[in-house]
Amino acid sequence: MRNYELIFSKFDEQFGERDVGSITQETVLAFLTDFTEGNKQSTKRLRYSLLSAFFNFIKNSFDPAFQNPCDTPILRKIFRETKPIPWDILEKEVVDEIIFRTDNPRNRLMLELMARGGMRIGEVLKMTPANIQERKIIIVSPKSGKEAEVVYIPQKVADRLKEYIRAKGIKPDERIFPISYPAARVVVKKAGRLVRINLSPHDLRRHAATFASRSRTPLEIVSKIILRHANLSTTQIYLGKISELEAMRWIDNLYG
């Protein structure tokens, strides 16, 4: 609804007094180009799709002879959907080694929350003891726009996290990991160097999803519980490509 409100408030400002039949391909192109300047291709595609859906509604509901000005080869090409990036997937053994070789308790916990709980680095950095309920972590004001989300973590990670909070004397409303985002990225990058790979925080989050999927966890659980995505299609992008080694391993598992 917010996406629709945004684009149609702008659309109404420019074309509210015009007859809809007078809006041409060139008019739409000029409007969308101005409205989406500086945006990612995915955002441009979304706003094009919303506007096209509006014109299709007019055509299907009021005037079958109406020509959708968005439905042209040039506009479809300009606002085409971007191809997803084929992520390289980290094997469980590699992630385990990264975590086990990280001696600093703070850094190890941060890595585990991303790799075992599927948390975003920003979510990890905002955590306070008040957000923790046994094996659940409550994410307040999450990226999705919801009031809150729940992250479920393994018992061993939960125990280490509570012990760390107790040992450091962290108060309920204090951040557990009071470091900056750039500093946290450095922590992750250094951890990757332990096994000679270029590691980013999101690589660990993707690993949490991929490992769960390869372990036969239902896609709905991976999507809604681990990654907390609104759409399964977003989750499928996260799962990445399958290597030849992994493909052969699954064939061996299936057929011996």
pLDDT tens for residues 150-160?
A: 999 999 999 99
Stretch 8-19: mean pLDDT: 88
124 phi and psi, to 5 degrees?
A: -60, -45
pLDDT tens for residues 193-233?
A: 999 999 999 999 989 988 888 888 888 888 888 888 777 66
For the chain, list the domains and their CATH numbers. Answer: 2-78 (no CATH), 92-255 (1.10.443.10)
pLDDT score for 254: 65
Are 121 and 184 contacting, i.e. CB atoms less than 8 angstroms apart?
Answer: yes
Three-state secondary-structure class, residue 140: strand
Sign, Cα dihedral of 95, 101, 182, 136: positive
Helix (H) or strand (E) holding 10: helix 2-15
